[in-house]
Structure 1
């Protein structure tokens, strides 16, 4: 999984396609320990072993539903048998990074003075948290109080879609945030 920098909720990963171009469902692996059978969607499980589907192409996908049109072949001869996660998936990751850059570009920019203040607060928290974690927690609590008092007011005039776009967020991630801001909204 790839975690975004600023595009909240836009978590990316490698998705796969079968030879016929379809997207396979999850792989279920019976580990023989009861009625629970776990499922997996990591790309390396689609290896054709034990009647699993065999994926021959990979692409970037995002939790928001975006799927990259560009696909890349999976060279099964180069996939390390015991450590398949070491296989080079940098091309799909770059595609996903381009996707999150577009999301961030569409977001409302922070005023420069506010961005500098936030950066200074983060730096100061980094300095304090190792030596005085309770003071760091007090600072975070003060910031939370600002969010709790101002958040409900600034969200009321806009739709969830408008707010998600403005924040560079998915609507799912936004819903979690807005529940913090305004209990009457969700």
Structure 2
């Protein structure tokens, strides 16, 4: 006979396999937070950064000898406090937050909670989107009596970048509501 040969075997109770799949997925991913991929504009941060830099330049020049704040006493102390406050604020600004970028934000619940309320269909959609697979195969093993026995084994295959793949993207909402 020519061609390919596929070993055929009877799958044990499909509900048992599905239960093992659900249990394994919940064990591996259920406590992960549901995250949403959102576009964050850095425009507001860039604007505030420019304001802080302008303020710092102003206070630096006016606190320098001959500047209008370099007179000692209350005026100079107040100007120095304001200058230090602006320096602290500038140091606290993450440079990446000034860029337009994609960020992951927590949705307030875990995948376990989402799947328990959304059901199997929602879990299936998430697993397919993330490229997660559950492989079932037959293996021959030797039992304690030395006999070879066939077992059905399931293996959950999770990509390394599952966190990014599971993140719900804005365009997925648009697609769902347009359908």
For the aligned pair, the TM-score class normalised by the smaller chain equals: under 0.3
Which of these two proteins has the greater Rg computed from alpha carbons?
2
* TM-score for both structures, normalised by structure 2: 0.18
Higher relative contact order (CA 8 A, sep 6+): 2
Q: Which has the higher strand share?
A: 2
